[in-house]
């Protein structure tokens, strides 16, 4: 019997290399998640074209069209996710802070990848900050999204060494390589319940938010 795949969306703002890693992993019949939608808040995000090339529906919901009304922007995102019967939302370089509206709407169903070993270095410019702090290990974290940015329950981490002479770009490259492995692995484990994430498949065939 072929197991039903969980329907996932990926939210991006830029190049989308983690998105591409998830799309590639999801091609395997054994991967328990299908990538059914890619959303960006920026119409010029390079990842949108890459997703379409890979045959994935990809749309921009431009935050600038909503002015200061962040909730209206997120309502449009939420409606698009629901209409696509999405069960899991993966943030992958989505560069806008979420309001309580979207976080609560997708509580327990939204994951993020962050380029540091949380709880160290939440926020931006993590690689430069790690170098300045003089840490010998750096890395990346997949976590469940909660209202506090980069602070939800941790699902997976990978560490890399900080080598003498590293620039922030060197470190970013080394970390990104690990991101591309741990995000698909963490999403698969989460979707299949191995991390205590989603409820049993039968309970989750419909949109979990209904």
Residues at the contact surface with ligand GRF, assessed by CB under 6 A: 12, 14-19, 92-93, 113-115, 140, 176, 179
Q: Which is nearer to ligand GRF, 17 or 41 (CB)?
A: 17
* 35 Cα distance to chain centroid: 12
Sign of CA dihedral 177, 178, 179, 181: positive
Find the shortest distance in angstroms from Cβ 157 to ligand GRF. 12
Q: Closest separation between CB of residue 149 and ligand GRF, Å?
A: 11
Asked if 77 contacts 102 with a C-beta cutoff of 8 angstroms, the reply is: yes
CB of 122 to ligand GRF, least distance (A): 11
Closest separation in Å from C-beta 18 to ligand GRF: 3
Residue nearer to ligand GRF on the CB measure, 133 or 205:
133
Q: Report the SS3 class of residue 180.
A: helix
Residue, CB closest to ligand GRF: 93
What is the distance, to the nearest Å, from the Cα of residue 89 to the centroid of all Cα atoms in its chain?
Answer: 7
The catalytic residues are 114
Q: Which of 84, 73, 69, 23 is nearest to 48 (CA)?
A: 23
Q: Which is nearer to ligand GRF, 92 or 198 (CB)?
A: 92
CB 50 within 8 A of CB 171: no
Burial class of residue 154 in the structure, from the number of CB atoms within 10 Å of its CB (0-12 exposed, 13-18 middle, 19+ buried): middle
Nearer to ligand GRF, 92 or 204 (CB): 92
């Amino acid at each position: 019997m072929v197991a039903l795949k969980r329907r996932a969306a990926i939210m991006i703002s830029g190049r989308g290399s983690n998105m591409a890693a998830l799309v590639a992993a999801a091609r395997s019949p054994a991967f328990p998640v299908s990538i059914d939608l890619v959303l960006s808040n920026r119409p010029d995000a390079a990842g949108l074209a890459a997703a379409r090339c890979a045959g994935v529906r990809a749309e921009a919901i431009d935050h600038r069209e909503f002015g200061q009304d962040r909730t209206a922007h997120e309502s449009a995102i939420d409606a698009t996710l629901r209409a696509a019967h999405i069960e899991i939302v993966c943030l992958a370089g989505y560069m806008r802070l979420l309001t309580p509206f979207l976080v609560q709407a997708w509580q327990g169903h939204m994951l993020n990848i962050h380029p540091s070993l949380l709880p160290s270095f939440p926020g931006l410019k993590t690689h430069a900050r790690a170098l300045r702090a003089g840490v010998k290990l750096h890395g990346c974290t997949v976590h469940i999204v909660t209202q506090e940015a980069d602070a939800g329950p941790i699902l997976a981490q990978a560490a890399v060494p900080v080598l003498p002479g590293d620039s922030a770009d060197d470190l970013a490259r080394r970390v990104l390589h690990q991101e591309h492995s741990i995000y698909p692995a963490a999403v698969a484990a989460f979707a299949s319940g191995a991390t205590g994430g989603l409820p049993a498949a039968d309970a989750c065939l419909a949109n979990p938010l209904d």
